[in-house]
Amino acid sequence: MPDIKKNTKFKIEQDYTLNVLLDILENYTKNDKFLNIYDMDNDYDFQNKILTLKENVKKYYSSSTCNAINNKKCTRPYLILIKYILKHHNYELQKKEFSKRLDNNTYVRTTKYFFYKK
C-alpha cells in the first residue's frame, strides 16, 4: 500500500503552521508586507520565533530539500524557513535591493522581501 503524501495527510497542520508564520510576520512588519533583511538580522527574538516552527516543518512538510531543516550550513536559517513555508502555500516572494539610512548619514545596503498570495 503506497504512503500518503504529507501534503494531503497533514493539510490541517500545514495550514496551522502557515497561520502561525503569517501572524509572526504581520506582527513584525506591522502590515507592510515586506521584510527587511538588515532588521531581521539584528532581531534575535524574531529569528527565534521563526525557528520554533522548524519542528513543525520537519514533521508536516516534505522538507528534504530545505537546508535549514537538514542541518546544512546556511547563513539565515530563519529566512529559509520563511521562504519554504510561503512558497509551499503559493505565496509569491519578490526581493528588492535598497539602501537603508541609519543614524548620522550612514547607509547600509540591504534587501527587502515582499510577500503576497498568488
In this model, does residue 72 exceed pLDDT 90?
A: no
User: In terms of residue numbers, what domain contains 27?
Assistant: 6-90
Domain presence at residue 86:
yes
Domain presence at residue 32:
yes
Residue at grid coordinates 524574531: 46
pTM of the model: 0.85
Domain presence at residue 23:
yes
Domain presence at residue 100:
no
Cα distance between residue 71 and residue 94, in whole Å: 26
Domain presence at residue 49:
yes
Contacts of 111 (CB under 8 A, 6+ apart): 36, 37, 95, 96, 97, 98
In this model, does residue 1 exceed pLDDT 60?
A: no
Domain presence at residue 1:
no
2 confidence band (pLDDT: 50, 70, 90): low
Name the nearest CA neighbour of 56 among 69, 72, 43. Answer: 69
Cα distance between residue 22 and residue 9, in whole Å: 22
Domain presence at residue 12:
yes
- The pLDDT, as a whole number, for residue 29 is 82
Domain presence at residue 30:
yes
Domain count, the chain: 1
